[in-house]
Amino acid sequence: MDDLPDQLVWDILGRIKKTTDRNSASLACKRLYHLDNEQRKSLRVGCGLDPANQALTSLCNRFPTLTRVDIVYSGWMSKLGKQLDDQGLLILSNNCPCLTDLTLSYCTFITNAGLTYLSSCSNLSALKLIFTPRINGCGILSLVVGCKNLKSLHLIRCLNVSSVEWLEYLGKLEVLEDLSIKNCRAIGEGDLIKLGPSWQKLKRLQFEVDANYRYMKLYDRLAVDRWLKQGVPCESMEELNLVNCIISPGRGLACVMAKCKNLEKIRLDMCVGLRDCDIIGLARKSSKLQSISLRVPSDFSIPPLVNDPVRLTDESLKAIAENCSLLESVRLSFSDGEFPSFSSFTLNGILTLIKMCPIRELSLDHVYSFNDDGMEALCSAEYLETLELARCQEISDDGLQHISRFPRLCVLRLNKCLGVTDDGLKLLVGSYKLDSLFVEDCPQISERGVQGVAKSVTFKQDLSWMY
């Protein structure tokens, strides 16, 4: 190794992905130790920092070219020593001039003052805050004012962050490409209009409302009505992920869905108010769509605040099939409940999607309309490689036996399916047609019954969910 040029050694070290392996390699000799120090780009620390500020200072001095730092205090207890505080963020901003990507997770000692220190990190382009309860909107504003190159911002369970000036200021910068807001109770769907011009650049949006506080912003008419007055250009949007959101006709997130002409992936999970016209408008505009996941609230999970609950029908699936010729991944799911949803898609609607699109991955969860006839129809699905069936109680051994005729299927997942037994898998035993088989919590399938069905078999049995 002594004869190798530094650049080649750096390349070798860069191919070592595990931190533990990288640390071991750096201890092999002094040369590797010093070269690793010069080239190390990422660092993940947390509960092991003790004393935190002194240890971070030492690490920053040792690795002067750090671009990514993850500070994670998940599982922290007071006996592990004091957490990193605002002074630690000042140390980070002063000693990491190349910092571009920062994650602060469960850092409960950090306040707005710490984010103010970070505002001097002019190269910071990605920030993720996970459960930082002492930070509010003022702290976020001070950071975005200083970090004008922020392209990615993730706020997860930041309970005291409200949508004040920071969201509007960030929108005017027109550099944001990736925004994730999850379970931040003080931020509602209507507040996203404050992004203004940044909608033009946004490529990924994830917005998840805390289900227990879903309706706090329902009657905030002033914020919601701004959607009607201001156009929302979403031409750059590639990925849209909405959970527990309210979809209101002609306003809010419904406006976003209707304008994403470059959308490739969409997930709509328990979004109340979603209508056929929303999905049809999305399908007609998003011809590049490759992946769709729909988890629909059952009639029993829609709260009384929503009058005249709207149901999706096969018209939505038909529009997707006719307009999204690149669709490869489909997940249809209905919410947990004692009874199946009355608003479920019919078998014909699901099969229309399968026949007209090159579906490689299909996942059906709690879809009671899918039965043995549907399994037989999948024999003509020439692109299907992965099939997941969860709580599909209308499928029996007769349907399962059709799997031996599927042209390309290589991965099968069965979860909580009551109607299938070992007999349904017998035709596959010894054929090794499947690369992988996952069976979980299916009461009539035994561990012995899955042996020899696939090259790789995973079997789990916990029937407590039935009682």
Q: Other CB atoms closer than 10 Å to residue 282's CB: what's the count? A: 26
Residues facing 440 on adjacent strands: 415, 460
What's residue 431's pLDDT? 86
For 88, 241, 418, 455, the CA distances from 429, given in Å and listed in that order, are 59, 39, 21, 10
Give the helix ranges, DSSP H, for 63-155: 86-95, 112-118, 137-146
What's residue 234's pLDDT? 86
Give the whole-angstrom CA distance, residue 116 versus residue 100: 16
Q: Other CB atoms closer than 10 Å to residue 230's CB: what's the count? A: 12
Give Cα 47 distance to the centre of its chain: 26
Q: Which residues contact 357 (CB under 8 A, 6 or more apart)?
A: 320, 321, 324, 325, 326, 327, 328, 330
Length of the chain measured in residues? 467
Cα-Cα-Cα-Cα dihedral sign, residues 439, 442, 448, 453: negative
- Phi, psi angles (nearest 5°) of residue 209: -95, 140
Give the helix ranges, DSSP H, for 119-251: 137-146, 165-173, 221-229
Residues facing 296 on adjacent strands: 334
What's residue 24's pLDDT? 77
Give the whole-angstrom CA distance, residue 414 versus residue 392: 9
Give the whole-angstrom CA distance, residue 422 versus residue 443: 10
Reading the block at residue 457, the tokens are 């078999």
What's residue 225's pLDDT? 57
Give the whole-angstrom CA distance, residue 189 versus residue 247: 9
Give the helix ranges, DSSP H, for 336-420: 347-356, 372-377, 397-400
Cα–Cα nearest to 168, from 191, 142, 200: 191
Give the whole-angstrom CA distance, residue 445 versus residue 460: 10
Task: Give the pLDDT confidence of 301-314 residue by residue, as tens digits.
Answer: 454 444 444 578 89
**Which residues in the chain show pLDDT less than 50?**
216-219, 300-301, 303-309, 338-342
Cα–Cα nearest to 347, from 374, 322, 365, 327: 374
What is the CA angle 360-361-365, rounded to 5?
150
Strand 361-365 versus strand 386-390 pairing type: parallel
Burial class (CB in 10 A: 0-12, 13-18, 19+), 90: middle
User: Which stretch of DSSP H or E encloses residue 57?
Assistant: helix 52-62
What's residue 30's pLDDT? 74
Whole-prediction pTM: 0.86
User: Which stretch of DSSP H or E encloses residue 180?
Assistant: strand 178-182
